[in-house]
Amino acid sequence: MADEFEPKIVAFLCKWCSSAGSDLAGVSRMQYPPNVIPITVMCSGSMSPLYILSAFKKGADGVLVSGCHPGDCHYIKGNFYARRRIALVKKLLEFIGLEPQRFQMSWVSAAEGTKYTQIIKDFVEELKPIGPQTKLRRSS
């Protein structure tokens, strides 16, 4: 058990929905694995593809971007831009040869603590069998 692979995940959560949803998971004392370090951004629309590449370069085994449900973005339409941009990043990462499971996008509202919990649980489970990410990791 001790040396079971523990994936390192960075989760970019928009402040208004997904970060609030993850707060709700906390308030409701739901439990999920501690592999994820959350970074709150203002809106999923502010997610530059470079952030995602940077996380992989710095050794992330998985990256999650989570925003408000389409149509519910606090900034009206930021997540529509995010959706388009992120679809491109996904293609790019697959083109480079990164396992598609390593990069995920989800919609989690402020009320969806349960959904956030489940997403993290599933993400960690999916990453365990594929092992560490080496494709983009900066060799140092």
Question: Rounded to the nearest whole angstrom, what is the least distance from the CB of residue 116 to ligand FES in the complex?
Answer: 13
Residue 43 found at the interface with another protein (CB under 8 A) = yes
With CA atoms as reference, report the closest residue to 98 among 129, 133, 63, 123.
Answer: 133
3: Cβ–Cβ under 8 A, 6 or more apart, which residues?
A: none
21 touches ligand FES by CB under 6 A:
no
In the complex with ligand FES, the residue whose CB is nearer, 74 or 121, is 74
Note the Cα 109 to chain centre separation in Å: 14
- HSE of 98 in the Cβ direction (CA atoms, 13 Å)? 28
Alpha helices in the chain (DSSP H): 18-27, 49-57, 78-96, 113-127
Length of the chain: 140
Quote the least distance from Cβ 102 to ligand FES, whole Å.
Answer: 21
Task: Provide the mask over 62-101, with x wherever binding to another protein is found by CB under 8 A and - wherever it is not.
Answer: ---------xx-xxxxx--xx--x----------------
Which member of 21, 22, 24, 45 binds ligand FES (CB under 6 A)? Answer: 45
Positions that interact with another protein (CB under 8 A): 8, 10, 20, 22-27, 29-34, 37-43, 45-51, 54-55, 58-60, 71-72, 74-78, 81-82, 85, 117
